[in-house]
Amino acid sequence: MFVLTCPHCLEKREEEEFSYAGEAFIARPAAPEMLDDAAWGDYLFMRKNPKGWHWEMWSHATGCRKFVVVKRNTASHAIAGAWTLAEGRKVYDAEGGAA
């Protein structure tokens, strides 16, 4: 049961207020029709599912309803941080786009 500081509300809030919204930074292909079935299938279905650090989105569902980016360790449930989508993207890129 983590506590996140919502980067929009700027308050520490309980896990119960957030709902999981999947892996972060899966960009929708700009031109889906240009992709073959395999590449479109990757976008639709394939997720990282790592043991360790994972970049993911949570929605502050019973708070501001905004999405936040969270770097969470799937093994220890440790939280490295929570950012707005834009700020999280910068941190993610600065870390080389991976865990």
Partner 1 sequence: MTSFRVQHPNARVDFSKPISFTFDGALHRGFSGDTLASALLASNTRMLARSFKYGRPRGIVGAGPEEPNALVQLEGGAVTIPNLKATQVELYDGLAAWRTTGSPSLAFDLKSVGGRFARFMAAGFYYKTFQSRKLWPKFEHIIRHAAGYGSTPQLPDPESYDHQHHHTDLLVIGGGACGLLSALIAGRAGLSVMLLDEQCEPGGWLLSSPSSSIGGKQVGDWLRDTLTELASLPNVSIKSRTSAFALHDMNMIQAVEQLQDHLPPQSRVDGAPRQRLHRIRAGRVVLAAGAIERPLVFGNNDAPGILTASALTTYLNRYGVACGRRILLQTSNDHVYQGACDLAKAGCEVTIADTRTVINAEWERRARSSGAEVLAGYGIAEAQGRRAVSGAHLVQLDGERNSVKGNGPFVACDALGSSGGLSPTVHLFCHDGGRPTWDEAKLAFVVSANGHAKAGIYCAGAITGTFGLLAALEQTVRVAGEAVESLGKPAGSSAFNLKSGEPSETPARRIFRVPDGKPEGHGKKAFVDFQNDVAASDIHLAVRENYRSIEHIKRDTALGFGTDQGKLSNVNGFAIAADALGKSIPEVGTTTYRPAYSPVTFGTLAGAHEGDTFEPRRYTAMHSAHVARGAEFEPVGQWLRPWYFPINGEDMHASVQREAMAARRSVGMMDASTLGKIDIRGKDVREFLNRIYANAWTQLAPAKCRYGLMLDENGMVFDDGVTACVSDDHFLMTTTTGGAARVMNWLETWHQTEWPDLDVYMTSVTDHWATAAVVGPKSRDVLAKVCKDIDLSPAAFKFMDWREGSVAGVPARVFRISFSGELAFEVNVDANYGHHVWEALLDAGAGHNITPYGTETMHVLRAEKGFIIVGQDTDGSMTPYDLDMAWAVSLKKPFSFIGKRSFTRSDTARSDRKQLVGLLTDDPNMVLKEGAQIIESDIAKPPMPMLGHVTSSYFSPGLGRSIAMAVVRDGISRRSEAGVKAGRDVLYAYAGGKVHRVKVVSAVFIDPEGARQNV
> Cα–Cα distance between 93 and 89 in angstroms, integer?
6
Asked if 6 interacts with partner 1 (CB under 8 A), we say no
Rounded to the nearest whole angstrom, what is the least distance from the CB of residue 87 to partner 1 in the complex? 13
CA distances for 12 relative to 2, 4, 20, 29, 71, angstroms: 10, 5, 17, 34, 16
Rounded to the nearest whole angstrom, what is the least distance from the CB of residue 7 to partner 1 in the complex? 13
Q: Taking CB under 8 A as the criterion, which residues in 36-95 touch partner 1?
A: 37, 40-41, 44, 57, 59, 61, 65-67, 75-79, 85
One-letter amino acid at 75 equals A
Q: Which residues are bridge partners to 56 per DSSP?
A: 23, 70
Q: Which residues are bridge partners to 44 per DSSP?
A: none
Asked if 10 interacts with partner 1 (CB under 8 A), we say no
Using CB under 8 A as the criterion, which residues of the chain lie in contact with partner 1 when the complex forms? 1-3, 14, 21, 27-28, 31-33, 35, 37, 40-41, 44, 57, 59, 61, 65-67, 75-79, 85
